Every structure is written in C-alpha cells, then in structure tokens.
Chains A and B, each alone.
Chain A
Amino acid sequence: MKFERYGIGIAKGLTVTIKHLFRHPTVSQYPEQRLNISRRFRGNELIWNQEKCTGCGTCAKTCPQGAIEIITSTDMAENKYVVEKYEADTGYCIQCGLCIESCPYEALYFSHNFECAKYRRGELVQGKEEMLETPERKVSGYFYPDKAEKLPKQTLLIEKVTEKR
C-alpha cells in the first residue's frame, strides 16, 4: 500500500493526545477521594424493617436465586404471623431487586453500602440482627423515591469534565 501524504494522519492523532494534557483528569484516587454513588444504588446488603414485616414470604417466593429464607409461626392471641427466622445469603444474592419491588408492605430495602467484603463465607449470611437499619447501614432509595431524596446527589463524570483544569 502506498501513501502519498505519510505522517499527516499520525500528526492529527497526536494533536488529540496533546490536547488531553490540558484537560481535567477524569480519574479519582479512590480510597482518599470518594465519589457519591447513585441514590438508587442496589447495595450488597438487604435491610429489613421488623415492624412493617408481616411474614407473608412474598420476597422469598420472588427471589430468583432462592437466597431469602423465612420461617414464621402463628400467634393466635395477636392474630398474626411471628417471624422466627429471616435470613438472606448475600453470597447467592445477585442484587436484582425483585424482592424489594414485590414486598407489599414496604418492609424490605437495599442498603447504600458497597464495601461489604467478608473474610469467611459463612459471614455473608445476614441474620435478623444484621438486617436492621443502623447509622452505618443506610437505606438506599431503590424503588422508594422518598428515601432517595434524603441521600447525597450522585457525582457525574460529565460534570467533572466540563470544568477547566
């Protein structure tokens, strides 16, 4: 193959590369600089509201992975179900969010946390106590727009690039 104007294409390409010297960097140094994640983030943990849950088990039936286990007994005096065991195996969970959408009593949420690595496989199973809402375990706004409003706004790369260096 013969080129009549050899070098022009490469020079054009290099101007683009040189232009990037004067642009704002798009990378952030992760552990020190943290960007805000989406308000609807589907986190690695589930959060369960004990007061609202009636023990109907719709979440366990909907879960495509079978990661939720619920055992209830009947309380004849109060005329309701008592949740004896509620467990979610986050090792099996694929964070699809179908359990949260299916809950008819708004008792199940995703957490807004993403650093949930554990040392042992068994620790991935969330029991009743590990599923309650705490200051460290914040509720995500997935499927609940009123909860999403309270969370910080997501950082977008598009806004970062428009700034000058």
Chain B
Amino acid sequence: MAVRTEPFVLNMGPVHPSTHGVFRMRVTLDGEVVVDIEPVFGYLHRGIEKLAEQRTYTGVIPLTDRLDYISSMSNNLAYCLAAEKLAGIKVPERAEYIRVIMSELQRVAALLIAVGAFLNDCGAYFTPFLYMFRERERIVDLFEMASGQRLTYNYMRVGGVSQDLPEEFMPALRKFMDMMPRFMDEYDQLLMQNEILLARAKGVGILSKEQAINCSISGPVLRASGVKWDIRQADPYSIYDRFDFDIPTQTTGDCYDRYRQRVEETRQSLRIIRQAMEQLPSGPVRAEVPHLVRPPVGEAYAHIEAPKGELGFYLVSDNSIAPYRCHIRPPSLINLTALRDMVRGWKIADLIIIFGSIDITVGEIDR
C-alpha cells in the first residue's frame, strides 16, 4: 500500500506577525509544500475612495496619509499632482524641490522598513529590524520638524506645501546625508553575505521578466526581475528630469535580488536628495490657490513612483468643491497578484519570505 497525502487547508492570519498587518491567506498544503493560496482581504477597509467624494479637495489629503501609512509623503504627492493637473495649478519652484526632498527621504524610510521586515522574516530576529528603525527614526525626526507629526504628515497641499521648512531643517538634513552612506555600508556588511540568508533567499520565489510584466508589477519587485522601468525617468513628473540618477536592476528576480534592489535604490535616492539640496532655491512655497478649489469639469490621472511601485490617483471633477470620483491605483494590491505563481511548489517557510519580499502595506490594499 502506497503512502498518500491529502491536501490540507491552513488559515494564515489575519493576525499573524509575518503577514504585515491584518492580511489573511488560505493556504492549501500538500504535506509542507504549498499547492495553492488564496488571499482574503478587506479587514482594514475604510472606504477611502468613497469618503473622498464627500470632502473638499484639500480635505482628501489627510485621507491619503492613511493609505500606505509608512510612506505618507509619497501618497500626498501623488494626490496633489492629480488635483493640480485637474485644476491647472502651477507649483512654485521651491515647493517642487521641497516635495522632491521629502518624497525621496520617504522612499529611504519606507525601503528601510521593507528591508528590515524582510530580514526579520528570514530569521534575523529583530536586530537588523531595529537598526533600520533607528535610521528611519532620523528621517522621521526631520519630517516631524517640518510637518509636526511622525506618521501622518499631511504636509503637501494642492499648489505647494503647507509651510516653509524651518531654519534648523537644512543643517540637520546635511548631517543626516553625511552619516547615512556610512550606515548603509554597515548594513551591507551585516547581512549581505550572510550564509544563512543566502541559503534561504537565493533562488527562492523567482518571478520571471515576462510574468512580472503580465501581472503589471511595478516598483522594486519589477526592477529586481530585470525590467528597467521607473516612472521617474519613463514619465517624469514634478522636476525629476533635472536630476542625474541611475535605475539599478537585478537579473534573476528571486527574494535575494529584491532585497538587494531595495538597498541599491536607497543609495540612488540619497543621490537625488544631495542634488536637490544643492539646487534648492528661495521663494514662495505655495501657489495662490483659493480655499475651496473648484476645478473645471474633466478628469485627470497622475502617477508617481512610490516606494512600493506605481501609485496613481484618478480624479473626476464636476465643477464642485468635492471630487466626483477618486480612484486609487495601489502598488501593493497589484504586486500581490503575482504571489500565487511565486509560491507554488515552495515550502511554507519560504512562503513567509516570498510574501515579505513583495513588501505590502495592508492599508493600501484594502483602502
């Protein structure tokens, strides 16, 4: 008599330390091998798209903070770009530079969390995670100085930023920029060549180039698969065409490549911040925009390269003070569509790593 196995359905989440929030997966297992997974979401649904229809154009900005709550500045920027496109508002020069500095700092902060959480999932229990959090803390200090909050910044406005940078901001930023590359090298030394990490992450969860394009993956996950696509250069928004930076890519598209990709992108972000700091002009930070913005009838779509991928806002106006429709294209949700193909055939311990390497935020998936 031959030994047979039966498929076993395991419920993972919604409250599980490695599902990064309230995310639930129904995993079908054959022994220890994953046969199929079915993501179940909606546990953090707050109806942000519908709420946006009842608020003024400025009142939606605090809502966008709560989408991907570890990269609020990028969300603010994407929404403001869409609203400005709709209303035809020109942003002052200084505000553009402040926006670039803020969104690139936010990218560094968000990628640090992504790397830390990924290493935590790999088994490097909390030491790298807390090191990364210490670096992020310095960035959050800067954000707190400029906007007054540490998580929900609400700093950008339709037509600029809410207020000018305080005078102690630039010295602190300069100090941070001097120290950050040294710490980045230190973290590379900490785990980049660690044998345990290599054994666990190299060759695991390969996402091929074709598959990534078919699933419309964006961001670091796409670039780790070898596709050179970055909206900052492919369709430059704001003033990104003035800066000189590279788009790093990897070749195989496994978990280790996605980890390395994020580290490389952090370095490029630091390069952009350094250029923006040197070119920062003086002047007003907010265009003369009325309190209640009334854009003409029409529609606009603006997309940016958020830390996790392409973040887009689609706004429809009916010439009232509130958007008629606000649709969000979240990078986390769309990057998640490749998860099933990536985990099939791997063990349940690898499922955690692959899931961690996609880097999702549940606030953005459920909205």
Residues of A within 8 A of B (CB): 1, 3, 6-10, 12-13, 15-17, 19, 26, 37-42, 58, 62, 64, 94-98, 101-102, 110, 140, 142-143, 145, 148, 153-154, 156-159, 161-162
Q: Could you tell me if B62 and A96 are in contact, using CB atoms closer than 8 angstroms?
A: yes
* Chain B binding surface, main DSSP class: helix
Q: Of the 9-residue stretches B195-203, B335-343, B358-366, which lies at the interface with chain A?
A: B195-203
* 3 nearest A-B pairs in the assembled complex, by CB-CB distance: A64-B59, A9-B193, A40-B148
Residue of B at shortest CB range from A8? B193
B280 within 8 A of A: no
Residue-by-residue, is B132-174 near A (CB-CB < 8 Å gives 1, otherwise 0)?
0010011001001111110010100000001100101000100
Residue of B at shortest CB range from A13? B190
Residue of B at shortest CB range from A38? B144
On chain B, the number of residues with a Cβ less than 8 Å from chain A's Cβ atoms is: 45
The distance in angstroms between the C-alpha atoms of A98 and B192, with both chains bound, is 45
Q: Could you tell me if A157 and B202 are in contact, using CB atoms closer than 8 angstroms?
A: no
Q: What residues of B have a CB within 8 angstroms of the CB of A95 in the complex?
A: 149, 152
* Contact residues of B between 165 and 219, Cβ < 8 Å to A: 166, 168, 172, 175-176, 179, 186-187, 189-199, 202-203
Q: Could you tell me if B127 and A17 are in contact, using CB atoms closer than 8 angstroms?
A: yes
Residue of B at shortest CB range from A1? B199
The distance in angstroms between the C-alpha atoms of A29 and B229, with both chains bound, is 45
Min distance, Cβ A35 to any Cβ of chain B, angstroms = 10
B228 within 8 A of A: no
The distance in angstroms between the C-alpha atoms of A26 and B148, with both chains bound, is 21
The distance in angstroms between the C-alpha atoms of A64 and B60, with both chains bound, is 8
Q: Could you tell me if A37 and B144 are in contact, using CB atoms closer than 8 angstroms?
A: yes
Q: Pick the contact of A97 from B127, B138, B141, B154 — CB < 8 Å?
A: B154
Residue of B at shortest CB range from A15? B189
Q: Could you tell me if B196 and A148 are in contact, using CB atoms closer than 8 angstroms?
A: no
Q: What residues of B have a CB within 8 angstroms of the CB of A9 in the complex?
A: 192-195, 197-198
A-B contact pairs, 17 of them (CB 8 A): A6-B195, A17-B127, A37-B144, A38-B144, A39-B145, A40-B145, A40-B146, A40-B163, A96-B152, A97-B148, A97-B162, A102-B291, A110-B148, A145-B163, A154-B145, A156-B172, A162-B179
Min distance, Cβ B249 to any Cβ of chain A, angstroms = 24
